[in-house]
Amino acid sequence: MSHVPYDSTGEQPANVPRTDGAGRGSRSRSLDEVFKLLTDRRRREALYVLNRREGPITVTRLAEEVAAVTDAGPERVAISLHHVHLPKLDAASIVEHDAEAGTVRLVDASDRFHRYLHIAAMDEERFIGPVDEEVASDERDAPQSES
């Protein structure tokens, strides 16, 4: 386990290399933040759909795809996405949600977020796109359980 020094204010000095999962996005995410974002099933399902896409998708289409694998109708899913989940993901800089255009797209996330999104998808047996090399390498290095 690496030790990252902090100055007297509790901040990490700028010249110290980061080892906290930063990488793809413009900001690092704490493990607590990642888990909070992945806690809700509808939000995870929306992220799985968005991760499979290269560009924006309409919120209506996203709601239809999420509703297909959850226990709610597309209208109900669209309302929760619009009022709860997309604003939360947009505030966390995970997605860009254009409410006026009715579109949403996944933006780059930190390596830590991306890694746990893929792990959650594998655990829930969802295909969300190719696994990047870092996630694959983490899986190869994980201890194998004996059956």
Q: What is the pLDDT of residues 29-45, one digit of tens each?
A: 788 999 999 999 999 99
139 found inside a domain = no
Helices then strands, each counted (H, E), the chain? 7, 3
Under the banding of pLDDT at 50, 70 and 90, the label for residue 130 is: low
Please report which helix (H) or strand (E) contains residue 113, including its range.
Answer: helix 111-123
Q: What pTM does this model have?
A: 0.70
* Cα 44 from chain centre: 7
141 found inside a domain = no
91 found inside a domain = yes
131 found inside a domain = no
Residue-number span of the structural domain to which 67 is assigned: 31-126
Highest mean pLDDT out of 1-5, 10-14, 66-70, 134-138: 66-70
Count of structural domains, the chain: 1
Count of alpha carbons within 13 angstroms of residue 135, beta-carbon side: 18
CATH number of the domain where residue 99 is located: 1.10.10
